[in-house]
Structure 1
């Protein structure tokens, strides 16, 4: 028996889950071979969706969760896996945004899901998730200052000239001197704000887009309200012209001070990240430049083995002259992963310590969730033990779904079969608010929540557990068993 808690660096499967959707009134799924992940499974049982919003706070960057009831007219962001018949998709009113190998981005109405599962060539549907901003790098740390040099106003060496630096983040301060040439013209070739509706939209059909001429004409309507994207862009491609505080100009340049910049201001939703990568590569190709796309963002959701839909899409879009990099290291000291190894007929547990903080007035949903991944040959059950000692389960993984009031929070459990990109089963356990009819909802209980797994099979089994989301709580795996 082995029960271990891991503190791991990086972004894991790169992107994260924060959009939960459900409804009690939409049509039931018909029998089909198309696989649907646990998040979309919520569509049949819960009746609401949760949007994650990223804003600036006095302590840095803040993310809050907002729950709204799902209506038939709303659209859900998804990845469609396989090679679905385009004509059949068009009959359902579905248009693919980005196609990356066997992964495509799209938005769908909940009331077409049952018919969507009958589309020829479609293998699986995955709900798109949210990520969060990350960054932990500096120019001296990677010794970039050793490969180029500034002589007066002229750079020599490896400066990024003739290369596109694409950045997907919160936006950019287009007036900042670090992103301007010595004559004051912009170094930003294109700026696409995915959530802005005030400027001209790009060919993909949503958001606002400005080229260099529009930026020079001060036509941009989307500032970087958070500042994270401007910060990242300065490290990646700032030229140091704005150095102040008594220091000479160009004292603090970025890694590639003469690169051409393309910025995409995103809402941190992973399907939009894939659209952004494709957009940057297309623009760079038209300019005749190679491109490096930086994403200082991530999450701990997903199987962490490269089989997540967003991982596969990035692999398909990357290639010669097209590279994607991401931040790593911000969560190196966090207890984000637990691993349980079970012999046949053995039982063991992992414990998670959760502390609730009073929500801000604009936060309407309090929860944390656990994602577990295990081999398709395993035969497992899980029991959830609340901080007060109440036990719920055992639930047979792969066979049951739970939506239970525990008295200390609402327990929701869902599962999914392996999809065409991976070879593991997935279970999601969410602990959230308890709704009341006479006042505000009651947040989950503080304390230690236990997840007890038992192996009913005849061979050893391993479960990897990740804790990608908690709003507005802190939750970390502990050594308690």
Structure 2
């Protein structure tokens, strides 16, 4: 017998009113979004996306019962029976009722996280070729970075010998505009900077954020400052950047970003590594979320995705439990009502996940840390 389990993640309780939708299974945030179609925002989810009122989300279908064409959908990133699509909330409401739509997932936005620097990874020895057949500096490889806050003109993204720009493509997913730049054809939103002239004209995606520059420089920087003392892990690699809209981007937008970078690598016939120094706490944390399974499917020979170790790696932010039988004593725990463990601001979400096909119940009690008599 398969053992039931429960996952508890995050900060405030997210209850998904899924019973009103007869066909598709909905992720908690999708169900809440559909229950708030009167134009008002739920406290935990932004329903309005960019200027076009569209959201990027995951949709899984049963091809024996329907097709993307029959549903009137154009997949962007497609793997097996799951695709990323762009829909308005109104269109999503209708899609949830269609025959053959198995699962719809709308996720929250992202937060940025940093990984370890070159010195702690032993990269210097790789650059020198110590105990290796040759030195490895990223030459002939594409390094993609999905983030926000890029300075395209930074010295780390130029060749030290001739000053040529090493950034080959940029996709800004937000609402920016630039004369001569249009959305990448396959993806249909944001703007693509696909020439050195457009990249230099744009200069960067943000005047106030530098996180992406920091991360991309660690991954592939070639700055000659202090004789290259601070070069990145792959200083000779070609670079492709995707700048997220941190206020609106979903996990599906990140999947699109990874696919965009791999598309370029396929175009030029080079191996590729994509770095994600960002994340959120959505999902069951067991590798079965739609983002996890699609990310796994994207990888293969010459295609790797690297995720940051995570700024929350030492925080008590997640608990799981396996019940041996229905007679087991219940799991009891406290969860702080906070956006993140490192954040003092209250709010956020708690997600509770169980094994598919297994019933379980959850009792919720609020406990005041200010006045312990206020527990309910």
TM-score by length of 2: 0.79
Is the contact between residue 129 and residue 270 of structure 1 (CA under 8 Å) also seen in structure 2?
A: yes
Looking at secondary structure, tell me which structure has more strand per residue: 1
1:294-313 maps to which residues of 2 (within 5 A)? 294-313=275-294
Shift of 1:183: 1.4
2:106 is aligned to 127
Shift of 1:220: 4.2
Aligned residue pairs, count: 342
Shift of 1:256: 0.5
| Runs of at least 5 residues in structure 1 that lack an aligned partner in the other structure | 1-5, 7-11, 52-64, 151-155, 358-364, 389-444, 453-481
The 1:249–1:375 alpha-carbon spacing in structure 2 relative to 1, beyond 3 Å, is same
1:215-226 maps to which residues of 2 (within 5 A)? 215=198, 217-220=200-203, 222-223=205-206, 225-226=208-209
The 1:37–1:22 alpha-carbon spacing in structure 2 relative to 1, beyond 3 Å, is closer
Is the contact between residue 11 and residue 337 of structure 2 (CA under 8 Å) also seen in structure 1?
A: no
> 1:41 aligned to 2:41?
no
For 1:174, what is the secondary structure of its paired residue? coil
1:54-453 maps to which residues of 2 (within 5 A)? 74-82=53-61, 83=63, 85-90=67-72, 94-113=73-92, 115-117=94-96, 119=98, 121-149=100-128, 157-181=135-159, 182-199=161-178, 200=181, 201-203=183-185, 204-215=187-198, 217-220=200-203, 222-223=205-206, 225-241=208-224, 243=225, 248-267=226-245, 268-340=249-321, 344=327, 346-354=329-337, 367-376=347-356, 378-388=358-368
| Runs of at least 5 residues in structure 2 that lack an aligned partner in the other structure | 1-6
2:3 is aligned to none
Shift of 1:98: 1.6
Shift of 1:129: 2.7
For 1:168, what is the secondary structure of its paired residue? strand
For 2:362, what is the secondary structure of its paired residue? strand
For 1:175, what is the secondary structure of its paired residue? coil
Displaced runs of 4+ in structure 1, greater than 6 A?
Answer: 20-23, 447-452
Bigger radius of gyration, 1 or 2?
1
Provide the C-alpha distance between the structure 2 equivalents of 1:369 and 1:195, rounded to a whole number of angstroms: 25
Provide the C-alpha distance between the structure 2 equivalents of 1:125 and 1:345, rounded to a whole number of angstroms: 33
The RMSD of aligned alpha carbons is: 3.7
Is the contact between residue 112 and residue 277 of structure 2 (CA under 8 Å) also seen in structure 1?
A: yes
Provide the C-alpha distance between the structure 2 equivalents of 1:269 and 1:288, rounded to a whole number of angstroms: 29
For 2:305, what is the secondary structure of its paired residue? strand
Structure 1, 126-135 or 280-289: larger mean CA deviation: 126-135
Provide the C-alpha distance between the structure 2 equivalents of 1:40 and 1:249, rounded to a whole number of angstroms: 51
Structure 1, 276-285 or 208-217: larger mean CA deviation: 208-217
The 1:447–1:22 alpha-carbon spacing in structure 2 relative to 1, beyond 3 Å, is same
- Which has the bigger relative contact order, CA under 8 A and spacing at least 6? 2
Shift of 1:22: 10
The 1:85–1:348 alpha-carbon spacing in structure 2 relative to 1, beyond 3 Å, is closer
The 1:368–1:89 alpha-carbon spacing in structure 2 relative to 1, beyond 3 Å, is same
For 2:201, what is the secondary structure of its paired residue? coil
Shift of 1:223: 3.5
Structure 1, 343-352 or 121-130: larger mean CA deviation: 343-352
For 1:191, what is the secondary structure of its paired residue? strand
Provide the C-alpha distance between the structure 2 equivalents of 1:100 and 1:232, rounded to a whole number of angstroms: 28
Provide the C-alpha distance between the structure 2 equivalents of 1:128 and 1:224, rounded to a whole number of angstroms: 27
Is the contact between residue 284 and residue 290 of structure 1 (CA under 8 Å) also seen in structure 2?
A: yes
Shift of 1:311: 1.0
Provide the C-alpha distance between the structure 2 equivalents of 1:318 and 1:346, rounded to a whole number of angstroms: 41
Provide the C-alpha distance between the structure 1 equivalents of 2:234 and 2:375, rounded to a whole number of angstroms: 47
Q: Deviations over 1:154-205 (max 9, x none)?
A: xx82010100000000042111111101212200001111104313121121
Shift of 1:46: 4.0
Structure 1, 366-375 or 203-212: larger mean CA deviation: 366-375
Is the contact between residue 187 and residue 212 of structure 1 (CA under 8 Å) also seen in structure 2?
A: no
Provide the C-alpha distance between the structure 2 equivalents of 1:449 and 1:104, rounded to a whole number of angstroms: 49
For 1:351, what is the secondary structure of its paired residue? coil
For 1:254, what is the secondary structure of its paired residue? coil
